[in-house]
Amino acid sequence: MYIILVYDILTEDNGPKISRNVFKICKKYLTNVQKSVFEGEITPVLLKKLNLELKRHIRKDKDSLIIFKSRQEKWLEKEFWGLEDDKTSNFF
Amino acid sequence: MYIILVYDILTEDNGPKISRNVFKICKKYLTNVQKSVFEGEITPVLLKKLNLELKRHIRKDKDSLIIFKSRQEKWLEKEFWGLEDDKTSNFF
């Protein structure tokens, strides 16, 4: 399946550290297209693994992480109204 | 069509003001699901209008705005791995 993953980590407490950890974990499975936005093809098994890894960091009462799942990339078109893809992948 | 709109405004110069303007404009057309993430059903005509309004604020060399378009919402499933939807809509 094809997913878009977006997260918003609250900056309080050790937010910046959590944000770095979440970024590094997501980068193992997906492509970074914007500061806290990832996309890519992923199997259900790997999505489960990603979920378990992220769960150790995401604070359910503070942080937001949303997954948009589409059965196939062909049903998803992407448009850039600002910086193009490659320029956004050097954030961390 | 159903779209997911994500943006990342560079904080330099008048970034915060641009971010507020972009947020207000997006809120007229779409539903806010995370700090800089919107989603919703939109017609091609309204998408064009949204594009023109945003273009007056987005700095092409600094800011990133990505639209993921899906022909219909039914091809998009949403999962929350943190804060639920309603708690994320009071950001501004």
User: For position B38, which CATH number holds?
Assistant: 3.30.70.240
Percent of chain B past pLDDT 70, that is, above it, reads 90
CA distance A6 to chain B (A): 8
* Residue B89 belongs to a domain: no
Q: Could you count the other beta carbons within 10 Å of the beta carbon of residue B1? A: 14
* Residue A62 belongs to a domain: yes
Q: Which residues of A touch B34 (CB under 8 A)?
A: 6-8, 64, 66
Q: In this structure, are residues A67 and B79 in contact, taking their beta carbons and an 8 Å threshold?
A: yes
* Residue A91 belongs to a domain: no
Give strand ranges (E) for A1-92.
2-8, 31-34, 37-41, 64-70, 76-80
B9-31 pLDDT, tens digit per residue, is 999 889 999 999 999 999 999 99
Q: Where are the alpha helices (DSSP H) in A1-92?
A: 15-29, 44-55
In angstroms, the Cα distances linking A69 to A2, A13, B64 are 6, 31, 22
* Residue B59 belongs to a domain: yes
Count of domains for chain A: 1
* Residue B53 belongs to a domain: yes
Pairwise CB contact (< 8 Å): A8 & B61: no
According to DSSP, the residues that pair with B70 across neighbouring strands are A76, B2
- The interface pTM score, or ipTM, of the predicted complex is 0.83
* Residue A80 belongs to a domain: no
The predicted structure's pLDDT at residue A42 = 95
Phi, psi of B77 (to 5 degrees): -105, 145
Q: Which domain holds residue A17?
A: 2-74
Q: Could you count the other beta carbons within 10 Å of the beta carbon of residue B23? A: 17
* Residue B79 belongs to a domain: no
Which range has highest mean pLDDT (A21-30, A58-67, B65-74)?
A21-30
CA distance A27 to chain B (A): 17
Tokens 């330099």 sit on residue: B12
